[in-house]
Homo-oligomer: A and B are copies of this chain.
């Protein structure tokens, strides 16, 4: 049984996308799971009514599994992260995360201001013992199976110790959410040899060898899409959030290039859409903010209803697999063994 709070006011397409995404989710998820939409009640109700008029049966069956919690204020995409907590305590994001901190819900999902969600999540949910920062885990579609990239953008300047923390967090994520036992962890660098890397990466390499993880060494940019180098499988790619952000945004721009060039060459849009189906970002929907004592799922600002629905599914899986307990235990264990 998972109770998921969804920020109904967050994202470029709110409230439409979060509300429609919640309806899609209750249609797909087993009946024990429920959703709390957080935001301006009148606006949310209006959107629910509008959608009920389009699909009366779906809306009726969903009604007793979706509730609303009032939050009169909204954090804008342009607001500074600290504004969220200090300036807008009645915003949908802060109210939603407080519901989670008070254990009224088991997870929080938002397509709103990412910086504000990170800051509020750390402030309200707190970090697990032994961590200095949270990290975003993004899923990268590859030729074989998705690879987890941590950090995808939460931290721009990272120490070697923080890179090791990301490796631990990513490892639990891959195990719990992707069902990969003993996930293979690679450290992104500018060469496979252990002496390659910037100073933080070189130091992290040394620490990772003794971290008790399935560390396969450095991996290069070219190893990601093949989901592994010559040395075998790859489940988790560790990098700082600056590199992670640049790489992910670059990757997201590749489909447009492919589509434009190939449709110009006469390949049909249908064939391309079908072929690259698994590469659609909204298949994954949400990237969890790992390291906080709770489940805070970050969605793209431009999330479609389908993307929000999938973000909710990621949240449910995180709750069901008890990912958060596992992270706490893994970090506690690491702290003990490294003393």
Contacts and interface: CB of A to CB of B under 8 A. Distances in A.
B253 A225 contact: yes
Contacts of A256: 143, 225-226
Contact of A221 (B221, B245, B261): B245
B247 A153 contact: no
Contacts of A246: 188-190, 220-221, 239, 243, 247
A280 to B, nearest CB: 13
A106 to B, nearest CB: 30
Interface string A186-223: 00111100001111010000000000000000001111
Given A156-B190, A262-B275, A247 B250 contact: yes
A242 interface: yes
A335 interface: no
Q: Give the dominant DSSP class at A's interface.
A: helix
A252 interface: yes
Q: What size tier do the contact residues of chain A reach?
A: 35 or more
A52 interface: no
Interface in A273-302: 274-276
Nearest to A156: B198
A241 B190 contact: yes
Contacts of A249: 220-222
Given A197-B156, A242-B198, A250 B250 contact: yes
B250 A224 contact: yes
Contact of A250 (B153, B221, B241, B262): B221
A115 to B, nearest CB: 10
22 contacts: A156-B196, A156-B198, A188-B246, A189-B246, A190-B241, A190-B242, A198-B242, A220-B245, A221-B249, A221-B252, A223-B253, A224-B253, A225-B250, A226-B253, A226-B256, A243-B243, A250-B250, A250-B251, A262-B267, A262-B275, A267-B267, A267-B271
Pairs of residues from A and B, 10 with the lowest C-beta to C-beta distance, nearest first: A221-B249, A221-B250, A190-B245, A222-B253, A221-B246, A156-B198, A222-B249, A265-B275, A198-B242, A225-B253
